[in-house]
């Protein structure tokens, strides 16, 4: 392929480039690398607008995906590329957990909300999960540093969908020095009070509920208090998972009210939990992160 | 789900609704129906903007997909919904061929460019293909009439990608009374001169090259002459299939020059044959069909 803008990695880069496709005025790239946090190979996608391909520092947004997803779902279905091309924004989508491969056997669970595809972006504390399931460290330390060393990134915001919305809120408030902005789509707002999260935290943390509370986004916000000038959350009003109590959006609203963390919370009529909803609101989230980056 | 805008089918509709998802200000629907043309069940997707859901007649664009695809690829990856929502445009994506099911065994070929997923939108003339592979009749007669009877469609334009771009050009010029506008993305412009099309036409038509010529888009344009005030074609300049001679874009350009059919042909630097390219240019195609519909 004729990619005149193609990005150059560092001389001894840990990254192996898997694919490059031109998309709007930029390129969609995929990379794999051996992770020290998860002790597996990890794959992420990154959209680089031409400004970044030309070496100019750009704001970036890190998108954490939901249960069962990998980097492909959001990269193929969310349609962030057009807005990122227009604004000159980098968009990074990591995987949702370590995965088994020919080289390494990673624990799993037959329930889709525990194990591979369901890390909840925490560092697991008990066997058999603790060896590989260290996604908090992977995201906020290892991948974060790798991205900053390999790409012309100015500042990083964090967002995500569903379990990834939980991850964005949790990590955004736990590590506010790392991120300039936070938003979430259909987030699991109180993982320790949702059936999905309870099953996962029993596996990853055991019975000590104080550990669950430390990995609950709403409780994290209550604990650390206001950190951002505003955060943006979109939620489909016809989302079945909201009705069945997996998302606990009211807990997020309560935590933000209590701490005076400004929250723009939008319930979107008729919308469900799918990528059709994600694509409907993603541009507003990219613009939110863009504006916050300008202010940072 | 709470879909207050949901479309009502006719009383004795042949259509079975498979899914509904709200997306921007409209809904993405899927339907299946038993086809008399293909003697199989056929599935298509249709995006209905709120104007259509409220019963107002809207212009529609029929999108024919490329080799190996079904309705899902474009519906998930092309990102037409936002522009169709903004303009009030209906977008329909049929399957690329009949398919085997529990009820019916449809012929196939181990080559991805012949058989299921590779109809070329023609009516096959020889065994074993002729029984089911009648996609020209399916598109321009059966589905066309079904869409007009079940949805508030004002006028219909036709577009498509790769093999589907061939289909859009071929059917658009063979049946200009049916369509108000034509465009194509990375089209196979001269199927009878591409290795893909030659293999398929040998299967569907046999050795009579005069039959191949009647199913060649560039030759059809030369035969019927100018039909539209303008047509729009986008082609990735870094598309490997262009380099290897499958697309024959120059044949289209020659046919349009010869017949004085106005053609906007854009070679897009660095772009390949993928859905990353499709999403980059799809909005311009929707706007093209929208403008032509206003003039019709």
pLDDT of residue A6: 67
Contact state of A76 with B76 under an 8 Å Cβ cutoff: yes
Contact state of A22 with B280 under an 8 Å Cβ cutoff: yes
pLDDT of residue B6: 67
Please say if the pLDDT value at position A3 is more than 90: no
Of B23, B270, B274, the CB nearest to A2: B270
Closest by CA to A22, choosing from B249, B275, B78, is B275
Of B22, B81, B276, the CB nearest to A21: B276
The minimum CA-CA distance between A236 and chain B, rounded to whole Å, is 9
Structure tokens at A228: 């951002």
pLDDT of residue B8: 83
Taking the domains of chain B in order of start, what are their residue ranges? 16-295
CB-based contact B70:B76 (threshold 8 Å): no
Q: What is the pTM of this model?
A: 0.90
Contact state of B28 with A280 under an 8 Å Cβ cutoff: no
The A-side interface with B (CB below 8 A) comprises 1-5, 21-24, 28, 76-77, 79, 81-82, 236-238, 240, 268-272, 274-277, 279-280
The minimum CA-CA distance between A143 and chain B, rounded to whole Å, is 25
- Closest-CA residue of A relative to B241 is A1
The minimum CA-CA distance between B139 and chain A, rounded to whole Å, is 26
Which tens digits make up the pLDDT trace of A219-239?
A: 999 999 999 999 999 999 999
Which tens digits make up the pLDDT trace of A236-274?
A: 999 999 999 999 999 999 999 999 999 999 999 999 999
Please say if the pLDDT value at position A37 is more than 70: yes
Which tens digits make up the pLDDT trace of A122-145?
A: 999 999 999 999 999 999 999 999
- Closest-CA residue of B relative to A242 is B1
pLDDT of residue B1: 39
Structure tokens at A270: 């008729």
Contact state of B22 with A270 under an 8 Å Cβ cutoff: yes
- Closest-CA residue of B relative to A283 is B82
Chain B residues with CB inside 8 Å of A276's CB?
A: 21-23, 28, 81
pLDDT of residue B10: 87
pLDDT of residue A11: 84
Structure tokens at A129: 């999960």
Contact state of B82 with A79 under an 8 Å Cβ cutoff: yes
Q: Annotated catalytic, B162?
A: yes
Question: Which residue, among A3, A6, A22, would best test binding to B if mutated, counting the most B CBs under 10 Å from its CB?
Answer: A22
Which tens digits make up the pLDDT trace of A141-164?
A: 999 999 999 999 999 999 999 999
Contact state of B1 with A240 under an 8 Å Cβ cutoff: yes
d(CA B292, CA A36): 56
- Closest-CA residue of A relative to B274 is A21
Of A3, A275, A276, the CB nearest to B270: A3
d(CA A214, CA B153): 54
ipTM of this complex: 0.83
Of A4, A277, A279, the CB nearest to B270: A4
d(CA B288, CA A233): 35
B153-160 and B181-185 as β-strands: parallel, antiparallel, unpaired?
Answer: parallel
Report, as residue numbers or ranges, the catalytic residues of A: 162, 239, 273
d(CA B162, CA B127): 26
Instruction: Report the interhelical angle of B249-259 vs B217-224 (nearest 10°).
Output: 0
Contact state of A2 with B275 under an 8 Å Cβ cutoff: no
- Closest-CA residue of A relative to B83 is A280
pLDDT above 90 covers a percentage of chain A that reads: 95
Which listed CATH number (3.30.420.40, 3.90.1170.40, 3.20.20.120, 3.40.50.1820) goes with A16-295? 3.40.50.1820
Per-residue pLDDT of chain B (296 residues), as tens digits, is: 344 556 788 888 999 999 999 999 999 999 999 999 999 999 999 999 999 999 999 999 999 999 999 999 999 999 999 999 999 999 999 999 999 999 999 999 999 999 999 999 999 999 999 999 999 999 999 999 999 999 999 999 999 999 999 999 999 999 999 999 999 999 999 999 999 999 999 999 999 999 999 999 999 999 999 999 999 999 999 999 999 999 999 999 999 999 999 999 999 999 999 999 999 999 999 999 999 999 98
Chain A residues with CB inside 8 Å of B270's CB?
A: 1-5, 22
Contact state of A270 with B2 under an 8 Å Cβ cutoff: yes
Contact state of B270 with A237 under an 8 Å Cβ cutoff: no
């Amino acid at each position: 392929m004729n990619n005149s803008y193609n990005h150059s990695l560092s001389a001894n880069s840990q990254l192996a480039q898997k694919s490059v496709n031109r998309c709007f005025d930029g390129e969609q790239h995929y990379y794999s690398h051996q992770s020290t946090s998860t002790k597996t190979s990890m794959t992420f996608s990154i959209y680089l607008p031409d400004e970044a391909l030309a070496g100019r520092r750009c704001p970036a947004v890190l998108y954490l995906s939901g249960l069962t997803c990998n980097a492909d779902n959001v990269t193929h279905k969310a349609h962030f590329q057009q807005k990122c091309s227009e604004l000159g924004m980098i968009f990074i989508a990591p995987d949702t957990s370590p995965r088994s491969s020919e080289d390494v056997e990673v624990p799993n669970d037959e329930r889709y909300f525990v194990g591979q595809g369901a890390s909840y972006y925490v560092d697991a504390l008990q066997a058999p999960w603790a060896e590989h399931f260290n996604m908090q460290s992977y995201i906020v330390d290892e991948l974060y540093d790798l991205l900053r060393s390999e790409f012309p990134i100015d500042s990083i915001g964090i967002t995500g969908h569903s379990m990834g919305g939980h991850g964005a809120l949790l990590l955004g408030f736990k590590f506010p020095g790392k991120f300039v902005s936070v938003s979430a789509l259909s987030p699991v707002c109180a993982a320790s009070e949702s059936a999905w999260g309870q099953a996962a935290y029993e596996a990853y943390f055991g019975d000590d509920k104080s550990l669950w509370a430390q990995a609950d986004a709403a409780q994290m916000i209550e604990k650390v208090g206001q950190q951002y000038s505003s955060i943006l959350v979109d939620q489909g009003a016809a989302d079945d998972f909201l009705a069945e109590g997996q998302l606990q959006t009211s807990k997020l609203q309560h935590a933000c009210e209590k701490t005076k963390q400004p929250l723009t919370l939008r319930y979107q009529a008729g919308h469900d939990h799918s990528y059709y909803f994600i694509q409907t609101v993603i541009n507003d989230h990219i613009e939110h992160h863009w504006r916050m980056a300008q202010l940072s």
